[in-house]
């Protein structure tokens, strides 16, 4: 019975690994530079740089910054306005032809909060290429869902590998590498060792990757439930054409959530709010609460607070998992650890593919027949 169970788990491990290997290699190879995307952007000159300003200068109003963002793109509308907690002098703006236009045509700018001068275009450079390959392979939402599926298959491969590890290595010392055996056995020992070393990390990164891949689905559930209930009194009404002052909107939102700072503002009609409301998302000031946001919905025409509520647990999990996926919680030491574990995972994936090919070749190779064996076979006929 145990032998049969082991064979079943072996089949599961073999095929889930084979199905996901190519895509997991792509994720690892693109994810490795993304761990250091801030540092790479800085080195290549793609990071926004603070503008020179006179001493004692005051920040401009949000409405002035909004007008500056739209000045070079007549006919566009604002979608989002956001703030980086590490760059308080900078405001990020997102504009497009309409709130329902193709997201790939969105213009993302970084503006100086004191002068409203552009200090760089966000989402450009080689790291953007790596990010698109990593998240959706330039296939949009279907690509994200497919990569999420591959991440789920990879997690099954990890679990099945853990189940198989003990039966296949119980007679060996932990971390034993049989150097005097064949090359295939040598690679098998390294495959098992690095697989065990990275198992917890791989489950964490794989799980967070799957969660992020289906973030749009979770956001859709929140829209259909909570946002629909909040926007019910405005059902049938058109999107406001005259919007409240952004400074009024942000001021009212911060009064409703004391002790928090703004993360971003979503304009009416965007996916993070209803067609009639601004949504101001605010965050805390600790390493954990700075990753979690609290939405405040405000009337698009008056700026009055309509609702304050917490995000559902599933969306909170997405927000917490995003920096964990790339090791952004612990500074450079954690990034280096994440990078080393990624390299180990690449070796595990490559060695697993080699072991499968080597085993198939061995199975197809005809058995050698010695003269003695041939004679015995002749006598036995």
pLDDT of the chain, 381 residues: tens digit per residue:
477 888 888 899 899 999 999 999 999 999 999 999 888 988 888 877 776 676 778 899 999 999 999 998 889 999 999 998 878 889 999 999 999 898 888 998 899 999 888 886 666 788 888 999 999 998 988 999 999 999 999 999 999 988 887 776 667 666 677 777 788 888 888 888 888 889 999 999 999 999 999 998 888 888 888 878 877 877 777 778 889 999 999 999 999 999 899 999 999 989 888 888 999 999 987 766 777 889 999 999 999 999 888 888 888 888 888 878 888 776 888 899 999 999 999 999 999 998 888 888 877 766 554 444 444 333 333
> Which two structure tokens, joined as six digits, stand for 283?
């965050």
Cβ-based neighbours of 171, under 8 Å, separated by 6 or more? none
In the beta sheet, which residues pair with residue 112? 90
Sheet with strand 305-308: strands edge to edge = 118-121, 107-112, 87-96, 77-84, 261-266, 277-283, 293-299, 305-308
Please state the pTM of the whole predicted model.
Answer: 0.78
Rg (alpha carbons) of the chain, rounded to whole number: 27
Provide the CA 131 distance to its chain's centre, in angstroms: 9
Strand ranges, E, within the chain: 77-84, 87-96, 107-112, 118-121, 261-266, 277-283, 293-299, 305-308
- Taking residue 205's Cβ as centre, other Cβ atoms within 10 Å add up to 26
Choices 3.10.450, 1.10.3470, 1.10.1760, 3.40.630: CATH for 47-122: 3.10.450
Domain spans, the chain: 2-39+131-212+351-363, 47-122, 214-325
Please check whether residue 161 is in contact with residue 21, taking contact to mean a CB–CB distance below 8 angstroms: no
Determine phi and psi for 140, rounding to 5 degrees. Answer: 70, -150
């Amino acid at each position: 019975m145990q032998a049969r169970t082991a064979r079943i788990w072996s089949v599961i491990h073999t095929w889930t690994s084979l199905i996901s290997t190519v895509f997991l290699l792509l994720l690892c190879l693109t994810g490795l530079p993304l761990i250091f995307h801030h540092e790479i952007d800085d080195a290549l000159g793609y990071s926004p740089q603070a503008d020179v300003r006179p001493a004692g200068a005051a920040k401009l109003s949000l409405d002035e910054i909004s007008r500056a963002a739209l000045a070079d793109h007549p006919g566009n509308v604002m979608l989002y306005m956001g703030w980086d907690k590490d760059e308080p002098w900078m405001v990020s703006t997102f504009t497009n032809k309409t709130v329902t236009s193709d997201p790939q045509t969105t213009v993302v700018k970084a503006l100086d909060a004191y002068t409203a001068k552009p200090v760089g275009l966000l989402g450009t450079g080689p790291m953007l290429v790596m990010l698109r390959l990593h998240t959706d392979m330039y296939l949009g939402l279907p690509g994200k869902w497919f990569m999420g599926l591959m991440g789920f298959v990879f997690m099954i491969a990890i679990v099945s590998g853990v189940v198989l590890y003990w039966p296949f290595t119980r007679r060996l010392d932990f971390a034993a590498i049989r150097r005097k055996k064949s090359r295939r056995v040598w690679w098998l020992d390294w495959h098992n060792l690095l697989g065990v070393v990275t198992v917890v990390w791989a489950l964490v990164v794989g799980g967070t990757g799957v969660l992020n891949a289906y973030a749009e689905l979770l956001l859709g559930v929140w829209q259909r439930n909570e946002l629909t209930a909040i926007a019910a009194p405005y059902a049938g009404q058109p999107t406001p054409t005259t919007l409240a002052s952004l400074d009024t909107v942000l001021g009212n939102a911060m009064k409703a959530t004391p002790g928090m700072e703004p993360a971003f503002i979503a304009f009416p009609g965007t996916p993070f709010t209803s067609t009639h409301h601004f949504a101001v998302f605010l965050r805390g000031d600790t390493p954990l609460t700075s990753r979690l946001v609290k939405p405040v919905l405000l009337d698009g025409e008056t700026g009055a607070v309509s609702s304050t509520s917490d995000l559902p647990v599933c969306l909170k999990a997405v927000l917490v998992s995003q920096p964990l996926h790339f090791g952004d919680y612990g500074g450079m030491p954690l990034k280096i650890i994440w990078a080393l574990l990624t390299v180990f995972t690449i070796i595990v994936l490559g060695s697993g593919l080699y072991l499968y090919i080597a085993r198939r070749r061995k199975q197809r190779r005809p058995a050698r027949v010695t003269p003695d064996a041939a004679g015995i076979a002749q006598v036995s006929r």
